[in-house]
């Protein structure tokens, strides 16, 4: 760590401390790229710019770019480098250092650091995108500032530290831990919601929906734990468990009179892990089951994913012979053209369209036109969230479309689904 300027002297009666951790995106690895001397020179430019910003900010008559010293003796600052990040601390009386001033200071720092920097000895100018984590309080803490930087959403240029976000992260980590234990203990179980042909109420398929049989909190729904799982790799372990339980149910159904295809929901992370597809494919083969019995549901978010990741996923899906369904159709608006280029065989129309159909005849017309258009394009169509008799009747007027919803049945455990699917 290289420290410049004087350390904050103890005798100064500082009332508040500002700790900033500045990440310089675009200037990383400069020693490796241009040599140690060039890195030192680049750092000096950064230090000079930051010192000028501080001088100007705490002595308003002094414009940035002049060599005046900071005239206010009550304001002290210190600058150091740590693993490519700048650690900047300021101490000042409360009246001179509060949130509004910090915001202004950060904006000035960002605009100064964004100015291109010439690499010494090279015909090269580097552009830098600074991101800043900060902590303003009674204590000086770069750990808090760097924590703020760590949790800042990628699109945010600055983020302040808060106890709330620290506690939220701790409880998320605890929840992840609990989920890991739950997975080992087999607490994640698949429930199955039947898919119905509205013309004769026959069960034509099902969708696996995961539940967490929590030891103290009871049966938890995806909304209670999926977010946390999706922020870590746990979602892939959950998908593995759901896929295995789904194949196990298909094996049992095959032994009975009737076996129907079952859909599995995939999250964005699952699409980047082809093992899930390959392992499920091998498991089906081992038991002599057709890959047509597994349907993979992806959300519209797939349209905004990296094209190479999507292409690898599609290759794996086609190799195993699975079919793809587009879930929650109509809830996002981006990338429709890209979506329609994917080898999707089924579209699951979101309940939103039934809600609109209840509100007006225009809503009913939209649903009717949408379903008819998708059927004409040879998609299989399932309307989700059928709750009422009149909603079913609406779909009966669109021959060829399937339905799913509480009107027929919620998701039920494997045993109940087994008897339900044989009955209809």
Chain contacts with ligand C2E (rule: CB under 6 A): 193, 208-210, 221-223, 226, 235, 239, 242, 265-267, 297, 327-328, 351, 384-387, 404-406, 410-411
| Three-state DSSP string of 325-354 | EEEEECCCCCCHHHHHHCCEEEEEECCHHH
What the block records as the tokens of 337 is 């053209």
Site for Mg ion in 131-170 (CB under 5 A): none
Q: Report the DSSP beta bridge partners of residue 382.
A: 348, 402
- In angstroms, rounded to a whole number, what is the distance separating the alpha carbons of residues 135 and 162? 8
- In angstroms, rounded to a whole number, what is the distance separating the alpha carbons of residues 3 and 142? 14
- Strands, sheet with 85-92, edge to edge from the N-terminal-most edge strand: 3-4, 76-82, 85-92, 16-25, 129-137, 158-160
DSSP H or E run through 130:
strand 129-137
Instruction: Provide, rounded to whole angstroms, the least separation between the CB of residue 135 and Mg ion.
Output: 42
What the block records as the tokens of 279 is 């392992």
Q: Is 346 in the site for Mg ion (CB under 5 A)?
A: no
Instruction: Provide, rounded to whole angstroms, the least separation between the CB of residue 385 and ligand C2E.
Output: 4
Instruction: Provide, rounded to whole angstroms, the least separation between the CB of residue 395 and ligand C2E.
Output: 12
- In angstroms, rounded to a whole number, what is the distance separating the alpha carbons of residues 266 and 323? 13
Instruction: Provide, rounded to whole angstroms, the least separation between the CB of residue 392 and Mg ion.
Output: 18
With CB under 5 A as the contact rule, which of the stretches 21-29, 235-243, 289-297, 414-422 interacts with Mg ion? Answer: 289-297
Q: Is 300 in the site for Mg ion (CB under 5 A)?
A: no
Instruction: Provide, rounded to whole angstroms, the least separation between the CB of residue 72 and ligand C2E.
Output: 56
Binding-site member from 327, 344, 347, 394 for Mg ion (CB under 5 A): 327
Q: Is 328 in the site for Mg ion (CB under 5 A)?
A: yes
Binding-site member from 23, 47, 270, 297 for Mg ion (CB under 5 A): 297
Which among Mg ion, ligand C2E, none contacts residue 406 (Cβ within 5 to 8 A by kind)? ligand C2E
With CB under 5 A as the contact rule, which of the stretches 259-267, 303-311, 335-343, 390-398 interacts with Mg ion? Answer: 259-267
Beta strands in 198-310 (DSSP E): 202-214, 218-220, 262-265, 294-298
Handedness of CA 27, 31, 37, 38 (dihedral sign): negative
Residue closer to Mg ion by CB (options 300, 328) is 328
CA distances from 260 to 148, 193, 317, 401 (A): 50, 12, 19, 16
Contact 249, 262 (CB under 8 A): yes
Residue closer to ligand C2E by CB (options 116, 410) is 410
Q: Is 178 in the site for Mg ion (CB under 5 A)?
A: no
Nearest CA to 404 out of 339, 346, 318 is that of 346
Residue closer to Mg ion by CB (options 239, 265) is 265
Instruction: Provide, rounded to whole angstroms, the least separation between the CB of residue 10 and ligand C2E.
Output: 55
Which among Mg ion, ligand C2E, none contacts residue 335 (Cβ within 5 to 8 A by kind)? none
Q: Is 265 in the site for Mg ion (CB under 5 A)?
A: yes
Which among Mg ion, ligand C2E, none contacts residue 168 (Cβ within 5 to 8 A by kind)? none
Instruction: Provide, rounded to whole angstroms, the least separation between the CB of residue 179 and Mg ion.
Output: 20
CA distances from 163 to 19, 144, 170, 176, 389 (A): 15, 9, 11, 20, 50
Residue closer to ligand C2E by CB (options 117, 241) is 241
Residue closer to ligand C2E by CB (options 132, 349) is 349
Residues that bind Mg ion (CB under 5 A): 265, 297, 327-328, 384
């Amino acid at each position: 760590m290289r420290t410049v300027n004087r350390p904050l002297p103890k005798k100064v009666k500082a009332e508040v401390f500002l700790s900033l951790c500045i990440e310089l995106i675009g200037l990383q690895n400069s020693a490796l790229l241009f040599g140690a001397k060039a890195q030192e020179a680049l750092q000096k430019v950064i230090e000079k710019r930051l010192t000028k910003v501080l001088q100007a900010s705490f002595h308003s008559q002094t414009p940035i770019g002049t060599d005046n010293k900071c005239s206010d003796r009550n304001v002290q600052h210190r600058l150091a480098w740590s693993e490519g990040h700048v650690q900047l601390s300021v101490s000042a009386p409360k009246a001179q250092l509060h949130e509004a001033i910090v915001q202004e200071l950060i904006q000035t720092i960002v605009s100064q650091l964004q100015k291109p920097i010439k690499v010494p000895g090279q015909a090269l100018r580097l552009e830098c995108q600074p991101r800043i984590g900060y902590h303003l309080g009674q204590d000086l803490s770069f750990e808090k500032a760097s924590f703020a930087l760590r949790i800042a959403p990628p699109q945010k240029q600055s983020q302040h530290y808060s106890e709330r976000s620290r506690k939220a992260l701790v409880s998320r980590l605890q929840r992840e831990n609990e989920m890991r234990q739950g997975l080992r203990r087999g607490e994640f179980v698949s429930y199955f919601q039947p898919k119905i042909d509205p013309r004769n109420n026959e069960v034509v398929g099902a969708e696996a929906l995961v539940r967490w049989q929590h030891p103290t909190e009871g049966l938890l729904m995806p909304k209670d734990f999926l977010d946390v799982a999706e922020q870590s790799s746990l979602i892939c372990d959950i998908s593995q468990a759901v896929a295995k339980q789904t194949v196990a149910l298909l094996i049992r159904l095959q032994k009975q009179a009737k076996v129907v295809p079952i859909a599995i929901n995939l999250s964005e992370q699952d699409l980047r892990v082809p093992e899930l597809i390959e392992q499920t494919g091998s498991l089906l083969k081992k038991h002599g089951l057709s890959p047509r019995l597994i349907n993979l549901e992806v959300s519209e978010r797939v349209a905004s994913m990296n094209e190479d990741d999507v292409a690898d996923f599609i290759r794996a899906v086609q190799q195993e012979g699975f079919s793809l369904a587009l879930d929650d159709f109509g809830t996002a608006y981006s990338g429709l053209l890209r979506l329609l280029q994917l080898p999707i065989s089924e579209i699951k129309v979101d309940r939103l369209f039934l809600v609109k159909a209840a509100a007006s005849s225009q809503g009913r017309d939209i649903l009717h036109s949408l379903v008819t258009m998708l059927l004409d394009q040879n998609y299989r169509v399932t309307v989700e969230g059928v709750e009422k008799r009149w909603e079913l009747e609406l779909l009966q007027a669109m021959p060829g479309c399937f339905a799913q919803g509480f009107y027929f049945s919620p998701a039920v455990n494997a045993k109940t689904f087994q008897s339900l699917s044989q009955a209809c």
